[in-house]
Chain A
Amino acid sequence: MGGVIQKRTSEWTSRNTRSDGFITRDWFSFSNAKTTPVESNGFRRYSLLYGAFGSVQVGFKEWLYLELQGRNDWSSILPPANNSYFYPGASVSWIFSETLKMPAWVSFGKFRVSWADVGRPGPEYFSNNVYDIGNYGGVITYAPRGSRPPEDLKPERKREVELGLETKFFNSRLGLEVNYYNGNTYDQIMGLSVPPSSGFGDTKINAGQISHSGIEVFINATPLKTGSFNWNTVLNFHSDKPMVKKLAQGITTQGLWGMSGARVVAVEGQPWGQVVVRPYKVNENGERIVEGGYYSTDPTKEEVIGKVLPDIAGGFNNTISYKGLSLDFNIDYQFGSTLVSQTNMYMVGNGSAASTTAYRDEAHGGLPYYINNSSTLVLLPSHTSGVPADSKYPFIMHDGVILPGVQPDGKPNETIITAADKHSYYWQTFMDIQPDIVYKNDYIKLRNIVLTYELPKKLTNKIRFDRLAVSLFANNLWYIYKTMPNVDAEALNGTNVFYENNAFPTTRSYGASIRASF
């Protein structure tokens, strides 16, 4: 049995004057400010939560355990009529290696199942329908806030079932752990962004449902153990699939992030975090349409071309040791995510990407053409053609491109453009994200290596150390496999931002360390 009283207080006050400085130097007082008035600003946030909980544990013959929990909370964040809520939980674990007859190579086996329901009141003042007050020249003003409050706030609930299997084999040389979970958050308390033309920036809901189901697998093993030689390895992977089951208030799509031409969305009934872009214009035969020599995106269509979260991710961690020498190396991987890369867009646009050497001259596939007196580009039959009479310049060019595709009327595209124009098209004022700068972001990465030498006891005892180890390490060493060109697969622009634009790559570091204990 227990109880909780949780009181949260945040108060912030600032006082400032404008930057005209002091009347007398170096005296830090508001009364010494050149400019009056002194402006004051601030906010206050308070919340209070009472909780009472109890739990019971029962064990049977040291192989079956049952635990039951219950908790009731009272929160000031919820409207007085709804501010009390109860949530229970239960779990059973069964060490089956103790009860079932197992082959000798099974060292340990445990199965557990748990179920829990958790309640949460959301952020402070979430459902307050309040206004800002002010005055203009002595007349009172009321200003509505940009957020639409929910009508009748109830606590958010999360219900989760988890099944787990923990086993050890061959005298614990091999271990396998598998967890499966299925959680459902309902009556979710969150803000949904709405278009500014609705009159609000966001509407606060208390009805969303997002489910998470996933599986986690850990395999740990000691494949080699021969006297002074040891190899320990851990392989893990997890796969988490968040699904948007329900939004609210007639909203079925929620933009998580966006810029012109690309969005990351949460759509009712679909996996969370899908990447949506406008496809290139194509005709009914699926052929790319070229207008004025260029492709363009279709303003009337959108298509889902991936999702920001990976299908699977995990790691492969190893320690190999021989006498005092040990080598650690860790490999991470992820597969199945998609990323918008503006760095690649700008690199192509400004000609710094290696791919922009294409078509720059005859050797790189450029076509021969000349520019006539009316500044039109005209294709020539050969790179050795003479300079035609109506040429504006006394030479011909070799960097022409005719993009594969058809004109809007169905005839093959014949418009020649320069290689520079083809590439710099990616860097124009207010251009939409193009589908071809959205990449699959799969990778396998050697994250770090550590080589350690632990000096023999005999030696350390002599110099009165208990232990002395010397290590060499290197981090962020090598992408063994990577699908994103030119940029670091992990270089996102911050958390909850689903694109990449000149973000700093993870830094590679090398070093040495000495660890000693006395």
Chain B
Amino acid sequence: MKKKNIFNILAGLLMLSVVSCQSKLEDLYLDPDGFTNPDIQGFYTNTQQQLGIFRYSYGEMFHNFNTLNPILGSGGFQNDGAPSSFSWVHDPYSDAYSKLRSIAAMQQVYNGLSEQDKNDYEIFMWTAGAIKEYIFHQLTDVCGDVPYFKAMQGAELNFFPPFDKQSEIYPAMLANLKEISTNLKGYTLNGSFIQQQFTRNDVYFNGNITKWRVFINSLRMRLALRLTNVMPELAKSTIQEVLADDEYAKDRATSITLVDRRPDQAMELLIFRSLSERLTLRLFVPANMLNLMRKTGFADDPRIPVIFQPDKDGNYTAMPTEAPDVAAIASQITTTNLAATFPSFYNRTTFERNFGMPYQIITSSEIHLLKAEAKLRWADLTITAADEYRAAIKESIDIYYEINALNPDNQYNGFIPASKAVKPPDATINTFLDQKVAEFNAAAAGEKLGLIYDQRYIHYNMLKPYELWADTRRLMKELGPRVRKSPSNVRMMERTVYPTSEELNNPVNFQAVKASNNYTTPVWWTGR
């Protein structure tokens, strides 16, 4: 009896220790810093807040200034006249697919939901679909043919998507955006817990469905205009549809802008640090831009003091474009004291450490210029080109003054007092606008397109390189050197190369794009 008891006790202790060992192992199985139970809302907000979609990110802009400013003539630099070679450290390709990962995760969760929950979550899915197209249009504009229809299916073990033609991606993006826009027309959020969360998780537009429609329709117009060389019918019909729908960016209130919600991290993560670091290398006032803003016989463009800041002598001076002209002023160039430079820089108060500035996603100025161009192409559209042209310039002036005035930083010793610009009275601005409109009306048809391009060049400047780059490449077919603002020794970069990882890991499909894996083959929609 005693022996049996001892045996039972021992067996019991052994059992206990086995159980405790097993539970210790189980406790350590999961990464203590990993989260196991995510939801669609969290993926959705993560999609929106990723750097480089709506918020211009430090790393990306740091490399964009270096590569794109000389190519687009949007940033003055000490041009040495050497023939340009191509390189762009930013890898938009891998970047785009990694941004799409949260949307793919949303889709996975969504696929497993009940019908009721699917209905409630569709607003998340539709608007995420619009963000997906926004990411894809940026990607295909710089890479041409990319995996689109079968991309992002790794979770289903489809690891090797084929490269889709840009000529098929563009109509598909437009069709999808049209469908989303139609779905959202008249849509209102219901009282369900899920839909009520949309207003909080939608950090772009706070659940404002109308704002989403404005964004989507404006994006449709942007995408449509890319097709003027290659699918003019689709371009025209899309623009007509959006005009008829009448919800798109028309003024400041409907411009799609975003104010960042993490000002504490903005200096490190967003455009501001890249500006500080590239100032003396790529952000002098570019001569071609300043010359357009200060034409003989015209009043000075009111944007000069908000986009640029004065040099050491209080003048707005530009870095010359061509190497011999740079060499001629070499002895005068000074950046030792950043508050007293020669020539002038971009306006540091407008663009640097301005953590509350609205990021310009699709502004009314862009759409006004787009409509003016559309009228020149399709005379039957109900648009007055000159009015759009005027509104574009006026609203561009307004938004840059608005941004300049928003900078709360009065302490930073990098700012010079003159970079806090004072907006001229309306009368002065109107005089300027009248002159610009008169110039536009007097111009021949081709030159009107050129003048519209010039306004894009000023409005986008170094801040929106992708839009300026796309319009430049598109218009080069019709306008040639008229839209080239770069030095003569800087060749046009038509696209960027694919990352080696795609060639290495998707080699069979990669054959389809291998021949255009360079910087010089124009993408399909250029028509060149």
Contact = CB atoms under 8 A, between A and B. Distances in A.
Contact of B159 (A143, A249, A429): A249
Contact of B100 (A130, A199, A249, A258): A199
B233 interface: no
Interface in B23-54: 24-36, 38-39, 41-43, 45-46, 48-49
Contact of B85 (A50, A201, A255, A429): A429
Given A136-B45, A193-B505, A430-B518, A199 B28 contact: no
B97 interface: yes
A35 to B, nearest CB: 9
Interface in A1-54: 18, 37, 43-48, 50
A139 B201 contact: yes
Contacts of A141: 42-43, 45-46, 49
Interface stretch (A70-78, A325-333, A368-376, A412-420): A70-78
A77 to B, nearest CB: 7
Contact of A139 (B45, B86, B158, B267): B45
B89 to A, nearest CB: 13
Band of interface residues on B: 35 or more
B506 interface: yes
A220 to B, nearest CB: 44
B46 A134 contact: yes
A50, A194, A203: residue with the most chain B Cβ atoms closer than 10 Å? A194
Interface string B466-509: 00000000000000000000000000000001011111111100
Contacts of A430: 86, 497, 518-519
A139 B160 contact: no
A300 interface: yes
Interface residues of A, number: 63
A198 interface: yes
A43 B24 CA distance: 20
Interface in A214-258: 249-251, 253-255, 257-258
A37 B264 contact: yes
Nearest to A135: B45
Contacts, number: 201
A50 B499 contact: no
Interface in A108-166: 124-125, 128-134, 136-144, 146, 148
A133 to B, nearest CB: 4
A259 interface: yes
B28 A47 contact: yes
Nearest to A9: B28
B439 interface: no
B105 A77 contact: no
Interface stretch (B145-153, B324-332, B353-361, B376-384): B145-153
B349 interface: no
24 contacts: A37-B264, A48-B28, A76-B28, A80-B29, A128-B31, A129-B36, A136-B48, A137-B49, A137-B203, A139-B201, A141-B45, A142-B46, A148-B154, A194-B160, A196-B93, A196-B94, A197-B161, A198-B152, A198-B154, A198-B161, A199-B101, A199-B155, A203-B159, A254-B505
The 9 A-B residue pairs with the shortest CB-CB distance in the complex, in nearest-first order: A130-B34, A137-B261, A255-B504, A142-B42, A258-B504, A198-B154, A142-B38, A195-B506, A76-B28
Given A46-B28, A128-B31, A142-B43, 14 more contacts: A50-B25, A74-B22, A76-B28, A80-B29, A130-B31, A130-B34, A144-B102, A194-B505, A195-B506, A196-B499, A197-B93, A198-B161, A249-B159, A260-B503
Interface of A: 18, 37, 43-48, 50, 74-80, 83, 124-125, 128-134, 136-144, 146, 148, 193-201, 203, 249-251, 253-255, 257-260, 263, 299-300, 302, 429-430
